[in-house]
Amino acid sequence: MTSPLVDIRGLEKRFDLSGSFLEQITFKGGRFQRKQEAVHAINGVDLQVQKGEALCVVGESGCGKSTVARTVMGLLSPSAGEVHYGGQRIDNLKGGDVLPYRRKMQMIFQNPYASLNPRMTIQQTLEEPIHFHRPELARSEVREKVQEVMQSVGIDPEWGSRFGHEFSGGQRQRIAIARALAVDPEFIVADEPISALDVSIQAQVLNLLMEAQETRNLTYLFITHDLAVVEHFGTRVAVMYLGRVCELAETKTLFAEPRHPYTQALLSAIPRLEDDRPNYIRLQGEVPTPVNLPSGCVFHGRCPYANERCRQEIPRLIVTDGGSQVACHAVEEGRL
């Protein structure tokens, strides 16, 4: 196996909730106590993105999938762990050292209504990154480049002098994609890029992303909550729950034979057109808060197969005979 393009190792991210030192002090039971609280958004995630693939990260809100995306892109710095790109560690780079990676790695955001600067025309939005990263290009070359990306995402280059708010949601997302493509990246993190769009527009944008992948040889880290999209789009899928990866498999394998009890429940909950009633695996309880993580397997409180070992020992990802990697004691022990 070739070395991965992006290698995420033991990634952890905590968000401090307790504020400054003074705010942490509480007076309880006759004595002062220092109380520190944090949201444990990611708790030890290892993922490798291979060149040319679309690795999808799925999970429900609060599972840490967006935090993974933002940490990989350097918008957040990890609390622990490393992010490597093409063999080079990038999460600790400073100042100008990051710039080459900014060109190679780009991001597409969820909300097309917020991701375009309302005070800039489309032309300005698209020209700025090119000017910035390739100052050697002449004006006319930059303009040509902008025309080329606009055409490739299906936006008429004539509309360059318009502002973002003059476009529909789908068109704005196309422009946001064009901005990412303008600097010729190799790797794109797409954070829920279609979930704010209408059904018929989702298909257009998904097709556009697949087309760009083929023509530009892109690698995707695709964050979504929509499993139906994953089934269609992903090469491999990582299912996350409470900041951990619970199952990682080839898309076909995962959908044909989900192993982790959480993956099974998640898959059963997709509303399918052929269903006449909602039929799904019902989980007990609710997702615990990431402030106080459960001991052992984070899923044990809701899992129908949980036993004493699950409550105490954190399961590790193990390779099953089907080829998928599952973090579950029940699967490991053959109970499931």
| Closer Cβ to another protein, 44 or 169, answer by number | 169
Minimum distance of another protein from residue 307's CB (angstroms):
22
Q: Which stretch binds another protein (CB under 8 A): 30-38, 102-110, 316-324, 326-334?
A: 102-110
Specify the DSSP class assigned to residue 291: S
| Helix boundaries (H) for the chain | 21-24, 65-72, 99-104, 122-133, 139-152, 169-181, 199-216, 227-233, 251-256, 261-268, 308-312, 329-333
| Closer Cβ to another protein, 29 or 135, answer by number | 135
**Sign, CA torsion 192/177/204/165:** positive
By the rule CB under 8 A, 198 interacts with another protein = yes
Number of residues that make up the chain: 336
Asked if 277 contacts 334 with a C-beta cutoff of 8 angstroms, the reply is no
**Pairwise CA distance, residues 294 & 147, whole Å:** 52
By the rule CB under 8 A, 264 interacts with another protein = no
Q: Which stretch binds another protein (CB under 8 A): 22-30, 41-49, 70-78, 303-311?
A: 70-78
At which residue do the structure tokens 């298909």 appear? 203
Residues with Cβ within 8 Å of residue 61, at least 6 apart in sequence: 225
| Closer Cβ to another protein, 143 or 309, answer by number | 143
Exposed, middle or buried: residue 287 (CB in 10 Å: 0-12, 13-18, 19+)? middle
Q: Which stretch binds another protein (CB under 8 A): 79-87, 134-142, 194-202, 291-299?
A: 194-202
Question: How distant is the alpha carbon of residue 264 from its chain centre?
Answer: 21
- Per-residue interface string for the shown chain with another protein, residues 221-260, x marking contact by CB under 8 A: ----xxxxx-xxx-----------------xx--------
Beta pairing class for 6-16 and 318-319:
unpaired
Site for another protein (CB under 8 A): which residue of 60, 82, 184, 332? 60
**Pairwise CA distance, residues 321 & 103, whole Å:** 39
Minimum distance of another protein from residue 31's CB (angstroms):
29
By the rule CB under 8 A, 49 interacts with another protein = no
- Per-residue interface string for the shown chain with another protein, residues 303-332, x marking contact by CB under 8 A: ------------------------------
By the rule CB under 8 A, 72 interacts with another protein = no
By the rule CB under 8 A, 88 interacts with another protein = no
Q: Which stretch binds another protein (CB under 8 A): 84-92, 144-152, 160-168, 307-315?
A: 160-168
Q: In whole angstroms, how far apart are CA 282 and each of 25, 228, 264, 311?
A: 42, 19, 10, 20
272: tokens are 């399918």
| Closer Cβ to another protein, 263 or 325, answer by number | 263
**Pairwise CA distance, residues 148 & 210, whole Å:** 18
Minimum distance of another protein from residue 270's CB (angstroms):
6
- What is the footprint of another protein within residues 268-297 (CB under 8 A)? 268-278, 280, 282-283, 286-287
Minimum distance of another protein from residue 198's CB (angstroms):
4
Minimum distance of another protein from residue 99's CB (angstroms):
5
Q: Which stretch binds another protein (CB under 8 A): 36-44, 77-85, 220-228, 303-311?
A: 220-228
- Per-residue interface string for the shown chain with another protein, residues 109-148, x marking contact by CB under 8 A: xxx--xxxxxxx-------xx--xx---------------
Minimum distance of another protein from residue 181's CB (angstroms):
12
Q: What is the DSSP string of 100-147?
A: HHHHHEEEE-S-TTTSS-TTSBHHHHHHHHHHHH-TTS-HHHHHHHHH
Beta pairing class for 25-28 and 6-16:
unpaired
Residues in contact with another protein, total (CB under 8 A)?
79
